[in-house]
Structure formats: C-alpha cells, structure tokens
Amino acid sequence: MITVLLTDGEFTGMIRSLRQREDIRIIGFVFSENAAHSALLDRSYIAPAWNSPEYVPFLIDVIKNEDIDYVFPVVTRSLELMASIEDEIRKKTNAVIVTPSYEAVSIANNKAKLYEALKKDPLTACYITEYEVADSIGRLKDKIRVPCVIKPVIGENREGFFRVVSDDIWQKAFLEGRSDGKICPSLLDKMEIEHKFVEPRLIMPYLPGKEWDADLLVIEDRIISATVRQNLDMFGGLSACTVTCDEPHILEACRKIVSSLGLNGLCCISFKETKEGDLKLLEINPRAMGSIFVSAMGGNNLPLRLLSILCGEDDDRAFRQTPSGIRASLYYDIIRMPEGRVE
C-alpha cells in the first residue's frame, strides 16, 4: 500500500487521477471541515497556515502518524517552502516531497524572476513579452498604459489579476454588471501613491488570441508525458472549457523552457498565441494543476506514471501524449463535454 499526502488546497483532479491505482491511501490537508474534497480522501486534516511556525512540525507529525510515502504540494504560495524543506523531511520521516529543486521552483513560481531568467536565454527569449514591475500604487500609476493587465508576481488562479481599461469602458462595464476583474485610471487616482503591494505587480500588455496549457511530466530534464490543451473559454481561475490538441509548436516551446529552468516532475506551462502565431509565456505552475485529470481521461495519467517511477515500478521513458479531441469543463473538478462545437 502506498500512502500519499496532498497539501493545502482543492485538488479533486489529483485525487481522481491517483484513485486509478488500487493500492493507495490519499491523505489531504483542507482549509475547513466542510471542504467538499475531504469526502474523496481517506483522511483529512485541517492544517495550520503554511507560513505559520506550526506548519512544518504539524506536517512532520502527520507524515509520521499516517506513514506517508510521498507528499505532493498543490498550492502555489507554499511551493517554495515545500521545496526548501525537502531534505529535512526526508531525513526526519523518510517521506519524499515530490517537487522540482528549490532553485527551479523559486524562479518558476515568481513571474518576474521567471521572465527575467527566460529573457536572458537566447532559446527562450522569444516567448517573453514586454513587462514591468511595480511595488507600490505610485509605481503602478507611472507604468500602466491603457489597455494592459496587472497581476501579482506570485498568485493563485486569477487572484489579483486585473485588466486596465479606459474610464469610459470601465463605466460601461460597471453599468452592465461586467466590471469584475477590470480597473481604470480614475480608480487608481483615488489611491494613495505610497501604499505598497503585499506582492509586487507585473504590468504587461493584454494579449488577445488562443490560450494554451501544457500539463507535463518531466523526468531527468526530459518531457516524457504531455497533455496540450486549448482553453476555449475562461471564466476565471480554475474555470474553463478546454480541449486536448496535438500542437508540436507548443511542445517544442515547453521543451526549451523546461531545459532552460531545469524543471522536473509535474508542471503546467501556459501560453497565449497571438494572431501572428507568436507564442508568449503567461506562467508556469511547478506542480500538479486542477486540470491534471484531463490527462487521465485520455489514458495518459501523469501523476500515476510519476508515482510508478518514484516507486521503481516503471523504467520506461518513452514519450506519451494525451490524444487530441477530449473536451472537458473545469471548475475545481472535471465534466466530460459532448463532442462538437463549444460556444
């Protein structure tokens, strides 16, 4: 029997992927006793906040009490902590935290560091659009150009993401009840310029065009499993209609980025494709995403393949790709959609 621990967030896609293995126990940290996904776990714990002094001792106690073999971090903000304590946890409990190296996580998890690192690499610089960083309202006011987007350098789903539009467009959207996620210069003018952001903000042009996600399993710096998806419609955060595709140019971009950063394990890389056909990187999540079960739906279960490799049961490194044409609707879980056009 293999016992895994999933930490700190909603992770139904990961649970359902792992459940395709029979000899498994799945333990999870939840934010509330009413968390819906706790019903899918063999046991759940309400953990202290990941950034509190009590978190690591609590984590160690749970690992020991439940005889955990592998720990999968699943929330963006705690990833650097989990990568930084990997050696400590292994020495004290023999459990393995399944994460890329701390160096790779600290870059991939912070969009400002990520863009800077990839911009310096001749093989990946083409995927980085122009951007600036602001740490205060005053700096933000100086740098924004309408239209553009602002977002935290480290963020969860779409928290803190805003499109900056003109005052007229914002007012029209507000009157129509469609102003969520939008802000305009006159609103920023009402804020005190010296106020600092808790997390610095990126200012970037708004990129229309196709949006792509690639869920990847990387072993020894090589992608061995992949699911390429086009997001047909985004409703915010982990809410989307998506379809799997066979797009070699997406995989080629992912291979260059993975090699440049030294990423390993599970990760998701997101792009926008402009109308001219240029790929521009949006973000990297160096962890299992909520969309991971789409891979399992296509018979290419990334978490289970990784688990089999970690357990020494699988030494096959042949590349596998999820078949194209699988349509799904994501909203903290996955519903398979009928074939045909999705409006």
Find how far residue 200's CA is from the centre of its chain: 19
Is 106-126+207-336's fold the same as 130-204's?
Answer: no
The second-level CATH assignment, the architecture, of 2-99 is: 3-Layer(aba) Sandwich (3.40)
> What is the phi/psi pair of residue 122, to 5°?
-60, -25
Can you tell me the distance from the alpha carbon of 258 to that of 123, in angstroms, rounded to the nearest whole number?
11
Can you tell me the distance from the alpha carbon of 334 to that of 290, in angstroms, rounded to the nearest whole number?
9
CATH topology of domain 130-204: Dna Ligase; domain 1 (3.30.1490)
Q: Where are the domains of the chain?
A: 2-99, 106-126+207-336, 130-204
CATH topology of domain 106-126+207-336: D-amino Acid Aminotransferase; Chain A, domain 1 (3.30.470)
- Cross-strand bridge partners of residue 334: 330
One digit per residue, the tens of pLDDT, for the chain of length 343 reads: 999 999 976 688 899 999 999 999 999 998 877 777 888 899 999 999 999 999 999 999 999 999 999 999 988 888 999 999 999 999 999 999 999 999 999 999 999 999 999 999 999 999 999 999 999 999 999 888 889 999 999 877 677 889 999 999 999 999 999 998 899 999 999 999 999 998 899 999 988 889 999 999 999 989 999 999 998 876 655 567 889 999 999 999 999 999 999 999 999 999 999 888 899 999 999 988 878 889 999 999 999 999 999 999 988 999 999 999 999 887 655 555 566 544 4
pTM for this one?
0.90
